[in-house]
Amino acid sequence: MKPLDALPFAYPFDLAHSALLIIDMQRDFIEPGGFGESLGNDVTLLQAIVPAVAQVLDAWRRAGGMVVHTRESHRADLSDCPPAKRLRGSPRLRIGDDGPMGRILVQGEPGNQIIPALAPLAGETVIDKPGKGAFYATPLHALLTQAGISQIVCMGVTTEVCVQTTLREANDRGYDCLLLEDCTESYFPAFKAATLAMVRAQGAIVGWTAHSRDLLAVL
């Protein structure tokens, strides 16, 4: 293990037992015309983290670590998208509706794909998740257990929704989690700041946070 400079104290990083988890860096959330924009959000806020995420991903790949990508996505018949999720607010487009990049958050549609700058390589795991957390109704825990993973380094969007939900799910399953502060973002900056504080509060109650440069230094 290598001590990695983090908050609230050093994170005992072990690449051999770590997975890089990249959450929902999809066109539907990050590009104009997708689900994120249909909700009235400024997608440029999320676009700003792409270079940092790409730099970490490249370094992680070169180091030989396990990479997992997630996509929030639903079946074409929306049988895995309950009304409690789909029928909220009054967005311009809802999950399953036809948008500029195909049906919103539907598996196989162009907008549901991970952005080209972070496209998965052959052999990297891609998890399609119907919920906010990456562990709900997916094989993620089984795959990580089989690979001997005990630590998760997390990047992606949005900080207070899918990222935070996944971190809490992972913590409950016994993983030590590190969230890279400059590799996650929210449409609401105050929500990101609050989530970072909650994750590392009370002695890393959910996990640790660090800047990507701190991880790159140990990689």
Active site residues: 24, 129, 162
CA nearest neighbour of 215 among 10, 43, 48, 31: 10
CA nearest neighbour of 155 among 129, 127, 193, 184: 184
157 close to 165: Cβ distance less than 8 angstroms? no
d(CA 72, CA 133): 9
218 close to 2: Cβ distance less than 8 angstroms? yes
Q: Please report, for residues 62, 79, 104, the alpha-carbon distance to residue 130 in angstroms, rounded to integers and kept in the order given.
A: 31, 10, 13
Strand-strand pairing, 2-4 and 102-103:
unpaired
d(CA 182, CA 210): 8
Q: At what angle do helices 164-172 and 189-204 cross, to 10 degrees?
A: 20
The beta strands (E) that lie in the chain are given as: 2-4, 11-13, 18-23, 66-72, 98-99, 102-103, 125-129, 151-157, 176-185, 208-210
d(CA 163, CA 140): 15
